[in-house]
A = this chain, B = another copy of it.
């Protein structure tokens, strides 16, 4: 039986962006303090956290000081340097665990791991040079997508191949980074499941959301997803299998391609996920509190949906629409307090509540 973390304890969060910000707020609801580890100054999470330790991930002394000032550690992004984890995990528990990070930090590892678990992913092949690229194109065919194995997000580090002639340019676009060639999936929709697992092994999932991307970045998530009932169940069961196989603690995002025949896993993220922001206005307990509950060894909350929601990201100059959205009675705004609205930068999101 897990001993739950007492209210008043401090939760350490690696990363000070909007996910860390909303995790901090959720932690405060349960009476926890938070300490943010983040190299950048005036970061979104620092505005709502007790402490902000501003240091690089290579600063071993700062990492030690951070770990010693908190009771448990979690994170808002999966690309935490291994060297930092080595230091932190000797001092405090880290949730989700190393295995979840190992699997999800690398597309090749992730796809291999998911395949070994018996789950379906798009056809894929390892690409390190012109020779493996040629073999991959022959094996996977075109259209296909070349993606860096590591550090890709929001469509960055990706190159599309319409025909085999695009291979050389796509490989050049990787700048020498190890990559994976993914077969094109002719999907009818993209969905995601935000699932959670507690320290006692309790598993729960929010209703699947239907995602629409624009220029590689999530644009909207609509809940409920238009999806056959069988697929809804399948998606949740697959997320549950992944959680159990990883002995996972916390919230996990799983993205799927929907085809007329089946669900194909696109990728997993060992953290709260942009496509789960709708839960803030659709459920009594949102994904952020669910994650904090799991990390703190608390029982999971009830993520039953009370409202239908369309979440829309506010990116760059979408911020110009804030006055209009603020006046819309169906809209709940969530802004991240970022100083400057750059193109492609996620500045906030709006949850539009669909009244019955």
A332 close to B (CB within 8 Å): yes
Question: Could you tell me the distance between the alpha carbons of A181 and B293 in the complex, rounded to whole angstroms?
Answer: 49
CB atoms of B28 and A337 under 8 A apart: yes
Contact among B7, B293, B302 for A335, CB-based, below 8 A: B7
Question: Could you tell me the distance between the alpha carbons of A353 and B29 in the complex, rounded to whole angstroms?
Answer: 16
A57 close to B (CB within 8 Å): no
Contact among B4, B46, B48, B302 for A24, CB-based, below 8 A: B48
Q: Which of A30-38, A155-163, A226-234 forms contacts with chain B?
A: A30-38
Per-residue 0/1 for A10-32: is the Cβ within 8 Å of any B Cβ (1 yes, 0 no)?
Answer: 00000000000100110011111
Chain B nearest CB: distance from A278 CB in Å? 12
Chain B nearest CB: distance from A103 CB in Å? 30
Chain B nearest CB: distance from A110 CB in Å? 32
A49, A306, A337 — most chain B CB neighbours (10 Å): A337
On chain B, the residues within 8 Å of A298 by CB distance are 326
Contact among B25, B47, B302 for A330, CB-based, below 8 A: B302
CB atoms of A28 and B8 under 8 A apart: no
A50 close to B (CB within 8 Å): yes
Tell me which residues from 269 to 304 in chain A have a Cβ below 8 Å from any Cβ of chain B.
Answer: 281, 284-285, 293, 298-299, 301-302, 304
Q: In the complex, which residue of chain B has the Cβ closest to the Cβ of A281?
A: B284
A323 close to B (CB within 8 Å): yes
On chain B, the residues within 8 Å of A284 by CB distance are 281, 307, 332, 351, 353
Nearest 6 pairs between A and B by C-beta?
A31-B335, A302-B329, A299-B327, A284-B332, A31-B337, A48-B48
Identify the A interface with B (CB < 8 A). Answer: 4, 7-8, 21, 24-25, 28-34, 46-50, 281, 284-285, 293, 298-299, 301-302, 304, 306-307, 319, 322-323, 326-327, 329-330, 332-337, 339, 348, 351, 353
Extra A-B contacts (17), CB below 8 Å, given A29-B335, A30-B335: A4-B326, A7-B335, A24-B48, A28-B48, A28-B337, A29-B333, A30-B333, A31-B336, A31-B348, A33-B337, A47-B50, A48-B48, A281-B284, A299-B326, A299-B327, A301-B329, A304-B329
